[in-house]
Amino acid sequence: MIIKTYEINKLNTKKFNAILLYGDNEGLKNQIINENLINTNKDHKVEKYDEVEILNNYEVILSSLLNKSFFDEKKIIIITRATDKILKFTEEVLLKEIKDIILIINSKSLEKKSKLRNFFEKEKNAICIPFYEDEINTLNSIAKNFFKKLNIPISTETINIITERSNGDRQNLNNELEKIQNYLIGKSKISLEEINTITNLAENYSIKELADNCLSKNIKKTVKILNENNFSHEDCVQIARTLLSKSKRVLKLKSECESGKNIDEAISEFKPPIFWKDKPIVKNQILSWKKNEAENLISKIGDIELLVKKNTINSLNIVSDFILNTSSEINN
């Protein structure tokens, strides 16, 4: 069963045993998972797995679900980075009609031919929710309403800067707005300088430059940015996600160009809009990658983010090596 994100509030999700959320809007996905799925099932214990963990421990995890006793807790099982490989596990859980289990599958973009997507779209006891990237106007509205509710005066220019430096990611934006809210306790106004000080927005701009030059395969500028910015372990996930977001943009634009659209036209018509000052470097990125190369890069970045989360101590070396190797790849 397919539903839209705006329909979730009208739906009694407790009637469904499995829910597929797919697409690139991680911020909105996390919001719906927390507010509409976890908060409405507070009597359920939440367990999170990466797809790889499920596949590597398939029988053990499935057996623990099938053999749960009457006294076991109700559970919400969240599986992240899911692909078609998780379909068999999903089918078995639904086939056995395990009570008190809600299965939430979180996937990136899934093509129409995806077996996992087709299964959820047709299964009457399951929900399939596509998530699309936020328009820049949507992010601006979120930031504007945030300051309006707090009765804090803010300029349109500052709003635009905040959303631009959040890299078009609702999750990044929400994280930084939360920091601003904590800072504003007992205050009636805030300046852009203060915003840059208390959030990661200033640093995110350096991360943006790092990702842009890496994708442009400008190895000299990439090395310079790495050397001149004091990136920390805490920045590594953000670097990976920024690189992922921009790589997906390159892939979309490359696909349009290979379909016959003029490169300048594709850039000008892209949504969310590409700022005029960024258009030259975006054009260079499109010319630097083939479609299949961009697809492979996106897959690799996902692996890098997972590796970084599991190896915090070495995360900066892992990301730096990956950035340098990507930036120095020879164009074919």
The tally of CA atoms less than 13 A away on the side-chain side of residue 195 is 24
265, exposed or middle or buried, with CB in 10 Å at 0-12, 13-18, 19+?
exposed
So what's the pLDDT on residue 231?
83
Report the relative pairing of strands 44-50 and 74-82 from DSSP bridges. parallel
4, exposed or middle or buried, with CB in 10 Å at 0-12, 13-18, 19+?
exposed
Query: What residues does CATH 1.10.8 cover in the chain?
Result: 136-199
So what's the pLDDT on residue 25?
83
Between CA 49 and CA 77 the distance in angstroms is: 8
Widest CA span of the chain, in angstroms? 63
Q: How far apart, in Å, are the Cα atoms of 185 and each of 69, 84, 159, 173, 193?
A: 47, 46, 20, 19, 17
Count Cβ atoms below 10 Å from residue 220 Cβ, excluding itself.
Answer: 9
CATH for 5-131, options being 3.30.70.3340, 3.40.50.300, 3.40.50.720, 3.40.1190.10: 3.40.50.300
So what's the pLDDT on residue 240?
93
**Which residues have C-beta within 8 Å of that of residue 202, sequence separation ≥ 6?**
165, 196
Between CA 307 and CA 309 the distance in angstroms is: 5
Each of the 332 residues of the chain gets a pLDDT tens digit; together they read 898 888 888 877 778 889 999 987 888 898 899 988 998 888 888 999 999 999 999 999 988 887 766 556 788 999 998 999 999 999 998 887 777 889 999 998 888 899 999 999 999 889 999 998 788 788 999 999 999 999 999 998 888 878 877 766 788 888 889 989 999 998 899 988 888 778 766 555 578 889 999 999 999 999 988 887 778 888 898 899 999 999 999 999 999 999 999 999 999 998 877 877 789 999 999 999 999 999 999 999 999 999 998 888 899 999 999 999 999 876 55
CATH for 136-199, options being 3.40.50, 1.10.8, 1.20.1530, 1.25.40: 1.10.8
So what's the pLDDT on residue 318?
94
So what's the pLDDT on residue 48?
92
**Phi, psi torsion values for 271, nearest 5 degrees:** -125, 130
Query: What residues does CATH 1.20.272.10 cover in the chain?
Result: 203-327
53, exposed or middle or buried, with CB in 10 Å at 0-12, 13-18, 19+?
middle
The position carrying tokens 């779209």 is 121
Strand partners, 232: none
So what's the pLDDT on residue 167?
65
Q: Is the CATH number of domain 203-327 1.20.272.10?
A: yes
So what's the pLDDT on residue 243?
94
Between CA 160 and CA 162 the distance in angstroms is: 5
For residue 82, give the 3-state DSSP assignment: strand
